[in-house]
Chain A
Amino acid sequence: MAFDYEKYIRPGKLPHIWCPGCGHGIIMKGLIRAIDSLGLEKNNTAIVSGIGCASRLPGYLDFCTLHTAHGRAAAFATGVKMAKPEMNVIVVGGDGDGTAIGGNHFIHACRRNIDMTYIIMNNNIYGMTGGQFSPCTPTGAKASTTPYGNPDPAFDVAKLAIGAGATFVARGTAYHATQIDKLIAEAVQHKGFSVVEILDDCPTTYGRRNKFKSVIEMMNRLKDIAVPVKAAEKMTPEQLQGKILTGVLYKEEKPEYTTEYAKVIERAKGGK
């Protein structure tokens, strides 16, 4: 029997705003399958986002949903989680939202290791505002504000998260659709701050400026550059040139923030 996505979609809220060929819908379906596989209770699950194309995702889903301000999703989500630690908190957003204007909140949420999952839908561009370069736009690429090629170096989101202290970091792509739900499910199950970066495509504002002839070409690129972590172990640095590792990149067990705060409450009540 086909998977019933509608169970999790708010009636009357589709169609979504995303352009034909955009990978955000693929990721949303992956998130739904992940939530379904874990049996997360709708009433006990908050989905929080910032601003941008990706951040419109929560409005379509039938959970406690919070569409916040540009870059601030992780900080709002922190407030929700502190007030109700028993809730599952999932943050979704784009690369500009999460690593530029929201970069400070992102790295500090990583550092605190507060129990939530941050899904970064990385399409290398500010799509909603018309294709300005983001911290994840590759050097040399064309964007509406880099007409002569992007002079900026790009962030490696996964490395940023690991460096900042996230205790679970995974990467997938919109092409590898069936892997997305597994990565998200594992991330949500992890006790601590988990990051799932999903490489995505924006044919409308990135592809057309960077000589991609079709959405299929953009998707095929994601297929070609992705190398599973296990496979990468057997490859030489030359062979890994231009490739991007996918799968679970990092995982460690560390004290989780709200659990540690519960101990603070115990100490305060005990007068110690």
Chain B
Amino acid sequence: MAKKVAFLQGNEAGAQGALYAGCKFFAGYPITPSTEVAEVMSAELPKVGGKFIQMEDEIGAMAAVIGGSLAGSKSLTATSGPGLSLKQELIGYACIAEAPVVIFNVMRGGPSTGMPTGPSQSDVMSAKWGTHGDHPAICLVPASVQEIFEETVRAFNLAEKYRTPVMIMPDEIVAHMRERIVFPEPGELEVINRTAPSVPADQYKPYDTKFGDVPPLAAFGSGYRFHVTGLNKAEDGFPTTKAALVQAEEERQVRKVDANIDDIVTFEEYMLDDAEVAIVAFGSTSRSARYAVNEARKAGIKAGLFRIRTFWPFPDKQIKALASKVKAIITPEMNLGMCTIEVRRCAEGKAPVHGIFRVDGEPINPGQILDKIKEVK
């Protein structure tokens, strides 16, 4: 049977990906340029017995999805920059409570209200450093409509697998472009569900490290009674200030991601085998970069593209290896150098890193990147 094909917008593909992953609860607040996610979820969720709620504000939406997740529903919220800022406290709550949730954040200009309909890639640092305290961070940065669908499924998988909030962050261009999408058949993409407890209810501890760094998570109302708090907690879920317990729990939360970087980090290498100039880019900017690489090759310049698909955890070792084999790295991005900082950190001075930064609401075009390739080659 032929697969279902559609001409879909990025945000719509995100909503469809969430449904494919088994999302049963959405709570959100209207914000440009992500509202289509909420609109599709409001129409589609009830058809599969799921629930949609428009909350009174961004914070309430984040709170509701954590509540929904703890009650057993795979939960999604969607927002954009200002909303992401508002959600940050409770993103930290989801980290410490270890509640799997997915935050679909469409990147628009900032800071503050910025440029609501303009594209940007300036929320990537907020994804890691936005909420206070040490905590794990996973952030995916898709570059096409098809990829938004697939990466939203993966975002749910990672959230469920590692019991942590996961962000998927298309920039406004990718979120609002329309492209052909081929829907995966049910079962074609892996769908991961959280591990339910195997112990009797009276022996259940929500953060029981006997089961490894990602302990099984029971749902409220499933026969398991337990306590969840935003305070530093012990394995039984109750608050503690005992130094050794707090230290161990904090380290475990971060280790869930740090010890599984190879499972989480994804990237694409294009024409890098013999490249002398490497572009490191993500999202819509990587599409301009690919075009520029092709043009450079036509002009006889050995250029290649390293496309970041998982921004957090950052592909440290891949960038480090790249820096030791190319003459120069170019980092085009729609912000004033957020990815560039990370690339320079990983490059450790082995290759010069040249940024191309745009924050004027316009995309970085291939010509700009090509000019830079010619300049640094």
> A-side interface residues toward B, CB under 8 Å?
10, 13, 42-44, 46, 48, 51, 58-59, 62-69, 72, 75-84, 86-87, 104-105, 107-108, 261, 264-265, 267-269
Contact = CB atoms under 8 A, between A and B. Distances in A.
B20 interface: no
A86 to B, nearest CB: 7
A42 B223 CA distance: 9
A125 to B, nearest CB: 22
Contacts of B57: 104
B24 interface: yes
B70 A66 contact: yes
Given A79-B75, A82-B53, A63 B225 contact: yes
A21 B75 CA distance: 42
A77 to B, nearest CB: 6
Contacts of B71: 46, 79-80, 83-84, 87
5 contacts: A66-B67, A72-B90, A82-B27, A87-B71, A269-B49
Given A43-B221, A80-B68, A83-B75, 7 more contacts: A42-B225, A72-B60, A78-B27, A79-B25, A82-B27, A84-B72, A84-B220
Query: Which of A10, A48, A79 has the largest number of chain B CB atoms within 10 A?
Result: A79
A10 B231 CA distance: 18
Contact of B227 (A67, A75, A77, A107): A67
Contacts of A84: 71-72, 219-221
A44 B67 contact: no
A65 B239 CA distance: 13
Contact of B230 (A46, A59, A68, A265): A68
B59 A75 contact: yes
Contacts of A72: 59-60, 63, 90
A2 B25 CA distance: 44
B46 A83 contact: no
B82 to A, nearest CB: 16
Contacts of A264: 46
Interface string B215-238: 000011111111111110000001
B66 interface: yes
Given A76-B66, A84-B72, A105 B221 contact: no
Contacts of A13: 238
Given A108-B55, A108-B56, A78 B230 contact: no
B375 to A, nearest CB: 49
B93 A68 contact: yes
Contacts of A10: 227
A65 B225 CA distance: 8
B32 interface: no
Q: Is the interface of A mostly helix, strand, loop or mixed?
A: helix
Given A69-B230, A105-B60, A261 B225 contact: no
Contacts of A107: 56
A79 B227 contact: no
B143 interface: no
A75 B68 contact: no
A92 to B, nearest CB: 14
A59 B238 contact: yes
A256 to B, nearest CB: 14
B228 A65 contact: yes
A82 B60 CA distance: 13
A43 B231 CA distance: 23
Contacts of A80: 67-68, 70-71, 220
B45 to A, nearest CB: 8
B229 A77 contact: no
A62 B204 CA distance: 13
A10 B239 CA distance: 14
A267 B49 CA distance: 11
B43 interface: yes
Contacts of A46: 71, 220-221
Contacts of B222: 43
Nearest to A48: B67
A86 B221 CA distance: 9
Contacts of B67: 48, 66, 75-83
B220 A87 contact: yes
B89 interface: yes
Given A59-B238, A84-B71, A104 B221 contact: no
B58 to A, nearest CB: 10
Contacts of B66: 68, 76, 79
Nearest to A44: B221
Nearest to B43: A268
Residue among A80, A86, A87, A265 with max Cβ neighbours from chain B (10 Å): A80
Contact of B231 (A63, A67, A82, A269): A67
Contacts of B285: none
Contacts of A108: 55-56, 60
